[in-house]
Amino acid sequence: MSFDNQKKIFLKKLDKSKEGHIDKEITQLVKKINSSDNYYTTSSCAGRIVLLEKKSDKKQEIRWLFKKHGKVNLLKIK
């Protein structure tokens, strides 16, 4: 499945978090990430940021590029 198709499918799904919605504090960032052609997020925890590289559908082939609890400067993440 292409990245674009996978992104469309995942972003159409309902939020399955306990809260049932994106954390208010992180809404702007989620919208910014999901507006990109190359990225999307299905997580909305206001306290944790994770950036992954997915090479295939195999869990073993996902590489964690960045993770942090707290504030992140987007200009410094590349």
DSSP tag of 68: E
| Mean pLDDT of all residues in 48-69 | 80
Other C-beta atoms lying within 10 Å of the C-beta of residue 29: 17
Residue 20 Ramachandran class (φ > 0 left, ψ -120 to 50 alpha, else beta): left
Quote the CA–CA distance of 58 and 67 in Å, as a whole number: 20
pTM beyond 0.85:
no
* Window from 4-13, 14-23, 32-41, 61-70 with minimum mean pLDDT: 14-23
Residue from 75, 62, 70 nearest 32 by CA: 75
